[in-house]
């Protein structure tokens, strides 16, 4: 596609429910990244995919968070048993090759605003 | 571990002023540096990407410089306009697989 697409754009969920956030990267971009931005905070790295593999999951806050990528394209970030502190904007980015290591920058989607009530 | 600092944290200026936003990073062994803009409630828009071998990049009224040895980058905005109001973020890679972001400079340009 022309850009990185994320859905839904907004999600309100009850505490304790599971949610799935979707990211559709730019066609041909092999690298995909998830970040989280809490209110008034900076961007927090969550996980990095190269193809369907996740060489770096170090930013996932707890075992309630998981992500997968299929076909080297679409990625889903799943949060189980949501808590109020999970409320944030979840941003996805993609890049060609290994992104910053090969000189290509990131392109970000518009994000999913998650509110846990 | 890479740490990125941006100053000032906030800036409010009248239209037409030339601006300088600063970014510093602790690990100078970077491949490149990227400047982004974020509008309220929106995602990030890439402004400029400077390779480690470059000293500056220009796009319209924006000019970004990079001094790897001192761990600094500067974003210069010429003849600021109200439409430039946004948060400006700089980011550098840590290892090869992720960007580390500064906390941003929140810019307001008033008419």
pLDDT in tens, B61-91: 999 999 999 999 999 999 999 999 999 999 9
How far is Cα A89 from Cα A111, in angstroms, rounded to an integer?
A: 6
Which chain A residues are Cβ-neighbours of B98 within 8 angstroms?
33, 45, 48, 56, 59
Task: Look at A106 and B46 and tell me if their CB atoms are within 8 Å.
Answer: yes
For residue B109, what are its two tokens?
């340009």
- Distance between start and end Cα atoms, chain A: 33
- The reported pLDDT for the residue numbered A102 is 62
Comparing alpha-carbon positions, the chain A residue that sits nearest to B102 is A42
Cα A108 from chain centre: 10
Restricting to B residues 36-75, those with a Cβ less than 8 Å away from any Cβ of A are 36, 41-46, 49, 51
* Whole-Å CA distances, A29 to A26, A112, B43: 6, 20, 18
The whole-number pLDDT of residue B25 equals 95
Which pLDDT band holds residue A21 (cuts at 50, 70, 90)?
very high
- Among A21, A36, A42, which would you mutate to test the B interface (most chain B Cβ atoms within 10 Å of its Cβ)? A42
Say what the pLDDT of residue A85 is.
95
pLDDT digits (tens, 9 = 90+) for A83-106: 999 999 999 999 887 666 566 788
**Binary contact (B98, A45; C-beta < 8 A):** yes
Q: Which of A18-27, A74-83, B26-35 has the lowest mean pLDDT?
A: B26-35
Q: What angle do CA A45, A46, A50 make, to 5 degrees?
A: 100
Of all residues in chain A, the percent with pLDDT exceeding 70 is 94
Q: What is the pLDDT of residue A99?
A: 61
Q: Which residues pair with B83 in a beta bridge?
A: none
- Are B99 and A106 an interchain contact pair (Cβ–Cβ within 8 Å)? yes
B14-72 pLDDT, tens digit per residue, is: 999 999 999 999 988 888 899 999 998 788 999 999 988 889 999 999 999 999 999 99
Report how far residue A101's alpha carbon sits from residue B98's, in angstroms, rounded to the nearest whole number. 9
Tokens in use for A51? 């193809």
């Amino acid at each position: 596609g022309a850009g990185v697409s994320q859905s839904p754009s907004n999600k309100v969920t009850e505490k304790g429910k599971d949610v799935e956030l979707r990211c559709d990267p730019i066609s041909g971009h092999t690298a995909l990244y998830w970040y989280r931005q809490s209110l008034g905070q900076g961007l927090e790295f969550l996980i990095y995919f190269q193809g369907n593999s996740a060489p770096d999951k170090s930013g996932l806050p707890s075992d309630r968070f998981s992500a997968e990528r299929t076909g080297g394209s679409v990625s889903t970030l799943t949060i189980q048993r949501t808590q109020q502190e999970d409320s944030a904007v979840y941003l996805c980015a993609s890049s060609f090759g290994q992104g910053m290591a090969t000189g290509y920058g990131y392109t970000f989607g518009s994000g999913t605003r998650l509110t846990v009530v | 571990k890479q740490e990125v600092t941006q100053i000032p944290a906030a800036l409010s200026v009248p239209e037409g002023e030339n601006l300088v936003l600063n970014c510093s990073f602790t690990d100078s062994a970077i491949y490149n540096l990227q400047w982004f803009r974020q509008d309220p409630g929106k995602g990030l828009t890439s402004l400029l990407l400077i390779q480690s071998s470059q000293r500056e990049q220009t796009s319209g009224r924006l000019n970004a410089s990079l001094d790897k040895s001192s761990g600094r980058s500067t974003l210069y905005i010429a003849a600021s306009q109200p439409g430039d109001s946004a948060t400006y973020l700089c980011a550098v890679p840590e290892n090869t697989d992720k960007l580390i972001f500064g906390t941003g400079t929140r810019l307001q340009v008033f008419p």
